[in-house]
Structure 1
Amino acid sequence: MSGANVIKVEVDEDEERGVQLYGEFLSHNLERENLPGLVNLRLPQVQDSLNYDLARLAEVFSQSEERDLVRQRAEEIDLESLSTENFLSLINELFHDGGITQERVLVLFFFCSDLTIRACRAGLGSLCLNITNWTLGFLRRTVAVWVRVQGGWSKVLRGQGSYSDTMLVIGSSIIIISFILYYRRRT
């Protein structure tokens, strides 16, 4: 049709990279739990240095006591009553007092991945997809803006050289403990 209006939707690079990184992270965790076929993500996946940086950070965090707290927190969530609203409330609470940081993004990835794995094991396929979509929406709407201001995912994941592995664990501890205490106060 000549004269038809064409709408061009620009995809922000930081949004797309966040989707790719979380897709890789979730796929890896589902495979590790022997659940690769339960969620058909259809997310773009790219192997590159950002995935390596995320994997390095995730490895350090996965060996910490704080990792167990995130897993425990995900186990406490009532999957049957999980909705968009209460999911976003939980996630927003993680970021409410100190903004978005490298450590909080890592906690977000682990927490959402843990919830998805629980839903898959419970045979709640549609909830698996919902959690993934809610997470990706939060990454696109909220996290990508912060990442852009920080200079992109590579700078965020590399911490601009200002975060050591020790600081990652200490920062994550404070965030997770605050997150758990806040949730327990609300219930």
Structure 2
Amino acid sequence: MSLFALCGYLVSVGRVYWQLFSRLKKEAHKPISENLPYILRIGKALLLGFIKSLWQKFGGQHAATGEQLGGENTLTEQLDGEDIPDSPQITSLREWMLRIWQELSNEPEINSMVQSVAGEDPLRALAEVSEHTFATGINWGRIVTFFYFTYRVIAQSSPDWFSRVIDWAMGFLQERLAVWIEQQGGWTAMFRYNPFSR
């Protein structure tokens, strides 16, 4: 191989490495929003699983009457119709969320907000509670509280509201919470949240 051919070969190899380096550099600086679909898929699975867990635990005891819900099994049937991934990671996150909720559920302010949503238009009630909950910032405890109020609004509403409430909650999650969740490192960062040390 001549010196000229060797130089040409090294230049072409250098170009390939430079292109690869440039691509990797771009990948490392992708905007956060490219991860949002994953955050939202996991968020929907967690929301639906959280609601289903609370429904199984409490049933319709939070609803005004069983007739308003279309019978006790209506929510379970609607949730069973949803595609809820149940990987070990999602199961662990849902269980951690339920532990966080158990700790937060005794706060007087939360109990007061629960009373305030009774009998209101479901979407307006959820919007008001959500705005109040996140008025001063976002943390994992507030996200769990938001999931709980989504459950309460569904439990207190007719079955016709189920899809609309879930859609509204997912819109709120996308618009107001998903970027923060990504900035924390994703949903698994919730495991670092300790409501027991407040």
Residue 95 of structure 1 pairs with residue 134 of structure 2? yes
Is the partner of 2:74 in helix, strand or coil?
coil
Distance in 2 (alpha carbons) for counterparts of 1:45 and 1:68: 31
Distance in 2, matches of 1:127 and 1:32, equals: 21
Q: Please provide the CA RMSD for this pair.
A: 2.6
Write out per-residue CA displacement over residues 72-96 of structure 1, whole angstroms, 9 at most, x where no aligned residue: 2332x513xx44x674354234213
SS class of match (1:69): helix
- After the TM superposition, which parts of structure 1 deviate over 6 Å for at least 4 consecutive aligned residues? none
Pick one of 103, 107, 112 that aligns with 1:69.
112
Write the letter of the residue equivalent to 2:50: F
Mean CA deviation greater in 28-37 or 17-26? 28-37
User: 1:74-153 to 2 correspondence within 5 Å?
Assistant: 74-75=117-118, 77-79=119-121, 82-83=122-123, 87-96=126-135, 98-119=136-157, 124-153=158-187
User: Aligned pair 1:50/2:93, yes or no?
Assistant: yes
- State TM-score, norm by structure 1: 0.66
* Aligned positions, number: 147
1:178 equivalent in structure 2: none
Deviation (angstroms), 1:34: 2.9
Judge conservation of contact 1:14–1:144 (CA < 8 Å) in 2: yes
CA 1:94/1:64 → structure 2, altered by over 3 Å: closer, same or farther? closer
3-state SS of paired residue (2:138): coil
Q: Output the TM-score relative to the length of structure 2.
A: 0.63
1:127-150 deviations in Å (ceiling 9; x for gaps): 122112211221233211110011
SS of the equivalent of 1:12 reads helix
**Which protein has the larger Cα radius of gyration, Structure 1 or Structure 2?**
2
For structure 1, list consecutive stretches of 5 or more residues without a partner in the other structure.
1-8, 168-187
Partner residue in 2 for 1:179: none
Pick which of 15-24 and 149-158 moved more: 149-158
